[in-house]
Structure 1
Amino acid sequence: MLSTHPATADQALVRRLNTALIMDWLRRRGALSRAGLSAATGLNRSTVSSVIHDLLEEHLVREVGLQPSEGGRPGMLLELSPEGGCAVGVEIGVDFVSVVLTDFIAQVLWRKRIPSDPKDRQGIIVSRTEDLVQEALSIGTERGLRILGVGLGVPGLVDLQQGTLVFAPNLGWSDVPFRQMWTERFDAPVFVENEANAAALGEYYFGLARNVQTLVYLSAGVGLGGGIILNGRLFRGSSGYAGEVGHMTVDPNGELCGCGKRGCWETVVGPRAIVRRVRQALESGAESQIGTLVENDLSHIDVGVVVEAAQAGDLVAQTALEEIGVHLGIGISNLVNTFNPEMVVLGGALSLASPFLLPVVEETVREHALEQPREILRIAASAHGAEACVMGAIALVVDEILREPLL
């Protein structure tokens, strides 16, 4: 606990801030020498050396060899150490549970994904999830790694202060106090976040956006969520519920959304919208190989099937994805004009369909976004694919460690 003496408390705070700054530079840039860290952070050499001494003792950084030098004394390179500890990432989806165990630099040590039935009671799914988390923690302990924490990404509204899933319409769950339950059960810090926010953080820490400060992440599962990072921090809004971009109204008289409103953006660009367009085309008599792929059972059509057909040249599939791309691009244009991000990342089902969506999205954004904010914009598919959220759950733990170092 920090001393209550003002001078001592101020010194401890400065120490933590300096440590966090150094660790973040190592995260973003990889191996750096003490001199390199001093130049990058603006901290003097003695401060850097003192912080590095403590980080080495805690196994949060390691020395990896001498820096090549054209003259003078070569410096020792430092990087974040995988031996700093382990973290467990968890995603509870509508029809699956995914758990991964990683070391401190997000190298996966163990993973398991199991199907779940949306018809199962909440208690059954939570119990199965807890069994997987315990298995992961046991493996980490057996490897001699300290447990840094458990991160959880869920498709719904989250009370960040309490670590409670407030409402998840696609799961049919409400008021699930995950932090309270799991902190007591696992004796480890627990961090709970909306799945899109978690995925955005994962992309920022471990993916394409490692050196990006402003990012919009679009996560398409059953619906469409958004994670927004501004100036290197998750933007959660005044009550913690920011990022519900899928519920921007684009057509007041449009399709009924799962939220109970009409014409939400996710009703025209989400996975259900992709499938609905294809089904409508098939039901109207359009020729397509999709019927063969699903053995003429249209209820088996999903985004994966549509993408498979599009890759084989199926015009129904390609047309559906092109139409979705236009609506997606228009919505992204609004986000670009609002947040001026350096990057927009397509995740989940959008990532799977990105080879067909991206060209249309980019063209639509050029037509509809203002020229100045789009000049620096890059639109890309997530680096993590189906594991974007669960790796984001790992990022929740790492984010806490980097911002509040264990020193």
Structure 2
Amino acid sequence: MSEVSADLGTGRASVGAVLDYAWTAEQFTATDVMASTSLTRSTAIEALATLVDARVLQELPNARMAGSYRGGRPARRFALSPDLGVVVGMDAGDTHLAVSVADARGDALVHHRVEVDPADTPTERRASIERHLGDALTEAGRDRADLLALCIGVAAPVDRYGVSPPHPEGFWERTNPGLATALAEWAPVVQVKNDAMLAAVAEGAHGAAVGCGDYVALLAGLRFGAGVVIDGNILHGAHGGVGEGVAFDHVVGVGSAFGLAPLLRDQARAAVEGGEIAATSAVGHLLDGERVDARAVLDLAAAHDPDAELVSARVGEILARVVGVFGSVYDPARVIICGAIAESIEPVLAAARTALPGQLDLPAPQLLASPLGAEVVSLGAITTARLAARSLAVPLLAERRLARA
């Protein structure tokens, strides 16, 4: 077995150390590698040569050829090979499907987001996922042979094997219709994860939890679901159920796992029907049959409409109870509201911050809105897929290439 697999248990660790550095760097020199890894020059150059031979790295034109040479011997420059392969991150929600294709460095090549029918059967949902996956790869000019790793987030608990437990109403089976098996042949590494867990990955890598080891990423749009990170580790559970929102069915003052958008709708409607808000008011005009535009309520609250502020305050009190549960059980430093609703949620957060200290005895966690928007799960899936590509797929690919050389 070649030294490329050093980080898989055998061979020389120098190649793994150089690959670790190259995975997050752009263009670099042997001197850069030495400074980052503490390898000697000869060891660094030998490891670089191995990775170039495996076509994991490419050697770039030197400074003289690139036109930036200013005297002395030009340094050799390296970067990840552009034809190393691609990774895919998917967000398979109840009503949407997002597919992102990125190169090995994580640069986006294609991103699709489509609405899907929540009444789809498991067979129909599985076929839709595979179809959109194939279409995205085709648009990126790639095929299965180029796919290093695939990670898909689903709105269900997921165990360590990518399997969701049965749900009393079949919901989890629809959102995760045997995907670990169905997608197994698509890539060397296929991972199925809970969507909130992937949101936590994204927040820790790119969002409001960078540098924080204790936080909760709360997907809170349509339903509550949380990814929990404590002492720098994502908590999982026997069935992947840590942070599952059904717990709030049993919390006094919350009463269900429905998220912030339904809560805004319900509180607005209740205030109008109870006579606290006039049907002819700005909030009253938002009522349309069974639907209320939650974003519009939040926009009115941000503009200091008193009726919308009333609705936001009441939802903030409910959110404070939700956050208080997480604060008491996990003692996080931060709770981050994730998803598309985070962009407008500040009026609710302001009210929740006021109410939160009364919900727990421990110091209240900092309550923040995610900066990552609607694609937080896709971003977490891409981040997870890149990690899997680095640790598993790329070393195996390099070994095969070196064996054929």
Instruction: Decide: shared fold, TM above 0.5.
Output: yes
1:340-397 deviation per Cα after TM superposition (whole angstroms, max 9, x unaligned): 54543210255133322333344445666667x66xx654322321111122222221
C-alpha contact (below 8 Å) 2:101/2:111 kept by paired residues: yes
Paired residue secondary structure (1:380)? strand
Q: Is the 8 A contact 1:20 1:402 kept in 2?
A: no
Matched, 1:357 2:353: no
**Superposed displacement of residue 229, structure 1:** 2.8
Q: Of 2, 9, 17, which residue of structure 2 is paired with 1:13?
A: 9
- Map of 2:268 onto structure 1: 278
Alignment of 1:6-405 (within 5 A): 13=9, 48-56=44-52, 84-142=84-142, 146-161=146-161, 163-167=162-166, 172-174=171-173, 176-184=177-185, 186=186, 188-244=188-244, 247-248=247-248, 251-252=251-252, 263-264=255-256, 266-267=257-258, 270-285=260-275, 286-287=277-278, 288-293=281-286, 296-336=287-327, 338-348=329-339, 350-365=341-356, 379-404=367-392
- Aligned CA distance change for structure 1 residues 143 and 129 (closer, same or farther; 3 Å): closer
Q: Is the 8 A contact 2:6 2:13 kept in 1?
A: no
Greater displacement, 188-197 / 207-216: 207-216
One-letter amino acid matched to 1:322: A
Taking the aligned partners of 2:4 and 2:55, their CA distance within structure 1 comes to 25
The corresponding residue for 2:401 is none
Which residue identity is paired with 2:184?
Answer: T
Give the structure 2 partner of residue 258 of structure 1. Answer: none
Is 2:58–2:79's contact at 8 Å kept on the other side of the alignment?
yes
Aligned in 2, Cα 1:170/1:87: closer, same or farther, shift over 3 Å? farther
Structure 1, unaligned runs of 5 or more: 67-71, 256-262
User: 1:140·1:147 contact (CA, 8 Å) conserved in 2?
Assistant: no
Q: Secondary structure at the match of 1:183?
A: coil
In the TM superposition, what is the alpha-carbon distance from 1:194 to its structure 2 partner?
A: 0.7
Deviations 1:272-308 (A, max 9, x none): 2222111111211212313323xx4241214223223
Higher Cα radius of gyration = 2
**Change over 3 Å in CA distance of 1:360–1:38 after alignment to 2:** farther
Q: Secondary structure at the match of 1:113?
A: strand
1:113 Cα deviation (Å)? 1.7
- Give the CA deviation at 1:337: 5.2
Amino acid at match of 2:262: R
What is the Cα-based RMSD across aligned positions, in Å? 4.1
Aligned-partner Cα distance in 2 for 1:206–1:60:
25
Q: Distance in 2 between matches of 1:128 and 1:17?
A: 42
Higher deviation after alignment, 313-322 or 22-31: 22-31
The 10-residue stretch of structure 1 (91-100 or 36-45) with the greater mean CA deviation from structure 2: 36-45
Instruction: State the percentage of identical aligned residues.
Output: 24
Distance across 1 between alignment mates of 2:218 and 2:261: 12
Shift of 1:191: 1.1
Q: TM-score, normalised by structure 1?
A: 0.76
> Residue by residue, what CA displacement relative to the aligned partner does 1:165-186 show, whole Å, maximum 9, x if unpaired?
33467872427211211224x3
Please tell me the residue identity of whatever aligns with 1:276: D
C-alpha contact (below 8 Å) 2:343/2:370 kept by paired residues: no
Deviates more, 1:318-327 or 1:25-34: 25-34
Q: Is the alpha carbon distance of 1:280 and 1:401 closer, same or farther for their aligned partners in structure 2, counting shifts above 3 Å? A: same
Aligned to 1:259: none
TM-score by length of 2: 0.76
C-alpha offsets along residues 311-338 of structure 1, whole Å, 9 cap, x if unaligned? 3433232222223223333443453455
Relative to 1, partners in 2 of residues 1:314 and 1:284: Cα closer, same or farther, differing over 3 Å?
A: same
Distance in 2 separating the partners of 1:280 and 1:292: 14
Q: Structure 1 8/25 Cα, relative in aligned 2: closer, same or farther at 3 Å?
A: closer
Q: Distance in 1 between matches of 2:336 and 2:41?
A: 38
Matched residues, number: 382
**Alignment check: 8 A CA contact 1:279 1:298 kept:** no
